[in-house]
Structure 1
Amino acid sequence: MSHTARRYSAGAMIFHWVIAIAVIVNWRLAENAEHAEAMEDKIAIFANHKALGILILVLTLGRLAWRWTHPVPPLPSNLAQWEATLARTVHVIFYVLLIGLPLGGWIANSLSGREVDMFGLFVIPPLPVGENAEAAKTIFGLHATGGSVFIYLIALHILGALKHTFFDRNGGIFRMLPFGKVPG
């Protein structure tokens, strides 16, 4: 097996790290908006949160298209079966959340009759779902819960990458970086 076949492609690495940074920034935006005292600050921060969420959705769809057209390296051979199953499960849940959270936020926003301002560049109109404040509130609650679950899964993902890198010494994090040793 070639050295590069043990790593993700450059495109996959770019998508991974850009989306990872965007998700963490978006989580912090949501936290800052929740703790903002002035309503105008809260609205402004949530506007950026919504726009970044739509951008994450678009990037995720691009990442999935990339993944379907570029081979993914196999998991390291020294993983226990439960570790391989957990890794695959967490990755599937990541994709579900990367698509479901922005869509859920957009639907709830639409149920509130609001458009999404994309950083002042253009506006995405509400989806044609009608207005329903109670449904919007329920979906926003699920959105917040999903966001919390996502953060815990990200922590698990980081811990797993560090374990595989420094304890198992199987390349772990270096499979998603253009440098570092990925053993054969």
Structure 2
Amino acid sequence: MTIGNQKRYSIGAMIFHWLIAVLVIVNWRIAESAEHLSGPEKGAVFANHKALGMLILVLTLGRLAWRFTHPLPSLPNNYAPWERLLARATHVIFYVLLVGLPLGGWLASSLALRPVDFFGLFTIPMLPVGENKDLAGTIFDAHKTAGTIMIYLIGLHILGALKHTFIDKDLGIFRMLPFGGKARE
């Protein structure tokens, strides 16, 4: 299947997309719920947030490997130049955040001497950076801001998919679904 003639993403790309999307939203909700807690309870909730973040990192790296080894569908011909630019920029920023957020959280946790426990199965080693709690706090603050940007970007992405599906009637959302309407070339 050639890139120009492919209308939908591959099944593998769809699985990565939807799995990562759900995990990112769940992880955001976990972090939001931990903000109102304190002490050991807050630490336990954030332990799940960190473990899920590391899982998202691994899945994102898998998705990037998949993306570079499987053809992508071209954008539909009816997209305006600004829509093409926005779509490409949004996807690049998604990948930067999907890799950068977990790495930043891991770095900050390492600087704070807080190991990352992977759901009780094993401990992910701390990065060899030494202790610097002030820098850890700064990175955690940047991590939180970047997480907020991710949520707004998800909203923009959903609005774009809905616009293309229901207003432009090019059924854009079906490019990332294995069923339903026929997406335009």
Bin of the TM-score, shorter chain as denominator length:
over 0.9
Greater mean alpha carbon deviation, residues 165-174 or residues 140-149: 165-174
Instruction: Give how far 1:25 is off.
Output: 0.3
Count of aligned pairs between the two proteins:
182
CA contact (8 A) 1:114 1:125 kept: no
Q: Confirm whether residue 6 of structure 1 aligns to residue 12 of structure 2.
A: no
**Structural RMSD (CA):** 1.3
1:145, distance to aligned residue in structure 2 (A): 0.3
Report Cα offsets for 1:57-101 as digits up to 9, x if no partner: 000000000000000100111011001100000000000000000
Counterpart CA distance in 2 for 1:43 and 1:175 is 40
CA distance in 1, matches of 2:88, 2:108: 29
Per the normalisation by structure 2, the TM-score is 0.96
State the percentage of identical aligned residues: 69
**Alpha-carbon separation, structure 2, partners of 1:68 and 1:42:** 39
Contact 2:172–2:184 (CA under 8 A) maintained in structure 1: no
5+ unaligned residues in a row in structure 2: which ranges? Answer: none
Q: Where in structure 1 are there 5+ consecutive unaligned residues? A: none
The amino acid that maps onto 1:24 is I
Paired residue for 2:93? 93
Runs of 4+ in 1 over 2 A off after TM superposition: none
* Cα deviation, residue 183, structure 1: 3.1
Q: Distance between the aligned counterparts of 2:103 and 2:76, measured in 1?
A: 33
Return the letter of the residue paired with 2:113: G
Q: How far apart are the structure 2 equivalents of 1:174 and 1:41? A: 41
